[in-house]
Amino acid sequence: MAQLIDGKALSLSLKEEMKGRIAGIEKEFGRKPCLAVIIVGDNPASRSYVRGKIKAAEFVGMDSRLVELPEDVSEERLIAEIAQLNEDEGVDGILVQLPLPKHIDEDRIIDAISLDKDVDGFHPGNVAKLWLGRPCTVPCTPKGIMAMIESTGTGISGKKAVVVGRSNIVGKPVAKLLLDKNATVTIAHSRTANLADTCREADILVAAVGRPEMITADMIKPGAIVIDVGINRVSCTAADGTTTFRLVGDVDFKSATEVAGYITPVPGGVGPMTITMLMQNTIECFLRRIN
Ligand code: GUN
C-alpha cells in the first residue's frame, strides 16, 4: 500500500513558514509582496482556481489585486491592463489565468507580462533561462511537484523518470527539473507506442495528460513515486437518475495505491502545492525587484 504524499499538509506548513517571512519583509522593506491576478470571463474552474490564489495570498499576509474582465474583452484592452500593472511599482507578480477566450492570442498576452513580474514562469525569457540552467522563475506546478518528490526523502539522482504529457505548463518544465536532479527522463504522450511499458519502467511517474484515471495499476512499477497532476471533473449518474460530479486525477488512485510506493491524491495533492509555489514565486519576484 502506497504512502500518501499529502500536498495539502505540506502546503500548509510551507505557507505557515511564509507568514513569518512576509512579516519580516514588511518590517525590513516597508511593504509586503503584492500579487496581481487577471481573470477573463466566467469559466467556473478558472474562477475557483483564482479564488484559491487570492485566499492563499491573504493567508500568508501578502497583498493581492484581482482584475476581472469580461469574456469579450479585446486583446488590446487586456494588454493595456497588463502594461499598467507592469508599470505599477507596488505590484511584484502578475498572473493571467489560462485558458483565455479563443479570440485572444495567449502567446501575445504572456509576452506582454514584464519578465521580472512573471510569477508563472511562462514568459519566453524565463523558459529560455530554465532550459539554459540559469536562475529564473520556475513554473508553479513543476516546482510543487519537485517539492513533493523531495518530501519523500528518496533520491532523484540516477532514477528513471517518466513524464506523461508534454504541455508548456507542466510536462516540459518538470522534465527539465527532473533532468537537473540527474534523473534519466522520458517524456511520453498520447502517441507514445506501448505507453504502459514505458510507464512501468518509471521509478518516478508524473501523470499530466488531462485524461481521467488513464494511468492504471498495471502501468506502475512496484514502489514507484506517482505524481498525479490531473484535475478532471467526471459525472456519475446514480441509480435514481441524479447526476453528480466528482474530481479525479489522471491516475486510477484506487488500483495505483496498491502498487506504488508513494502517491499524490486528487484533490489535496498537486493543486494546493501549485498555489503555494505561486506565493513563493511572488516573494522571490519581490526580493529580486527590491534588491
Ligand atoms: N491555468 C492552469 N494552470 C495555470 C497556471 O499555473 N497558471 C495560469 N496562469 N493559468 C493556469
pLDDT tens digits for range 38-56: 999 999 999 999 999 999 9
- Counted domains in the chain: 2
110/194 same-domain check:
no
What grid cell was written down for 53?
490564489
pLDDT, position 80 = 98
- List the one residue out of 37, 22, 60 whose CA is nearest residue 276: 60
DSSP 157-177: TT-EEEEE---TTTHHHHHHH
Same domain, 47 and 154: no
Is 32 among the catalytic positions?
no
Report which protein residue has its CA nearest ligand 1's atom 2: 98
| Whether 208 and 154 share a structural domain | yes
Output the nine-digit C-alpha cell for 134.
540559469
Alpha-carbon distance of 36 to 169, in angstroms, equals 19
pLDDT digits (tens, 9 = 90+) for 80-124: 999 999 999 999 999 999 999 999 999 999 999 999 999 999 999
Would you tell me how many other CB atoms lie within 10 Å of the CB of residue 144? Answer: 30
Distance between start and end Cα atoms, the chain: 48
Kindly state whether residue 277 falls inside one of the protein's structural domains. no
Q: What is the pLDDT of residues 13-43, one digit of tens each?
A: 999 999 999 999 999 999 999 999 999 999 9
Same domain, 211 and 150: yes
Quick one: 160 and 51 in the same domain? Answer: no
What is the pTM (predicted TM-score) of this model? 0.97
For the segment 228-242, the average pLDDT, to the nearest whole number, is: 93
Domain with residue 162: its CATH number is: 3.40.50.720
Q: Which residues in 30-57 are b (16+ Cβ under 10 Å) and which e?
A: eebbbbbbbbbbebeebeebbeebbebb
Q: What percent of the chain has pLDDT over 90?
A: 98
* 53 is a catalytic site residue: yes
CB neighbours (10 Å) of residue 84? 12
Helix axes 7-29, 140-151, angle to 10 degrees: 120
Nearest CA to ligand 1 atom 4: 98
- What's residue 262's pLDDT? 98
- What is the per-residue pLDDT for 74? 98
Same domain, 213 and 90: no
- Mean pLDDT over each residue of the chain, to the nearest integer: 97
Whether residue 200 lies inside any domain: the answer is yes
Confirm whether 58 is domain-assigned. Answer: yes
- Counting ligand 1 atoms within 8 A of each CB, the residue from 67, 95, 282 with the most, and so the one to mutate, is 95
Indicate whether 145 and 93 sit together in one domain: no
- 147/263 same-domain check: yes
Number of the ligand 1 atom closest to the C-alpha atom of 120: 7
CB within 8 A of 214, min separation 6: which ones? Answer: 207, 250, 251, 252
Residue 288: inside a domain:
no
Q: Are residues 55 and 93 in the same domain?
A: yes
How many CB atoms sit inside 10 A of residue 214's CB?
18
Residue 194 has pLDDT above 90, yes or no: yes
- Residues 128-145 have pLDDT tens digits of 999 999 999 999 999 999
The reported pLDDT for the residue numbered 291 is 81
State mean pLDDT over 190-194. Answer: 95
Asked if residue 256 is part of any domain, the answer here is: yes
**What lines the ligand 1 site, CB under 6 Å?**
95-98, 120, 140-141, 169, 274
Q: Predicted confidence band at 9 (pLDDT cuts at 50, 70, 90)?
A: very high
**Is 22 part of a structural domain of the chain?**
no
- Looking at the fold, whether 176 and 222 belong to one and the same domain comes out as yes
Selected catalytic residue, list 63, 92, 118, 120:
120
C-alpha pair distances (Å), 111 with each of 83, 130, 246: 11, 16, 35
Which of 77 and 291 is assigned the larger pLDDT? 77
What distance in Å separates the CA atoms of residue 197 and residue 162, rounded to the nearest whole number?
A: 11
Q: What is the pLDDT of residues 195-204, one digit of tens each?
A: 999 999 999 9
Q: 10 lies in a domain?
A: no
Q: Provide the domain limits for residue 262.
A: 140-271
Ligand 1 atom with the smallest distance to the CA of 99 is: 1
User: Does the annotation count 55 as an active-site position?
Assistant: no
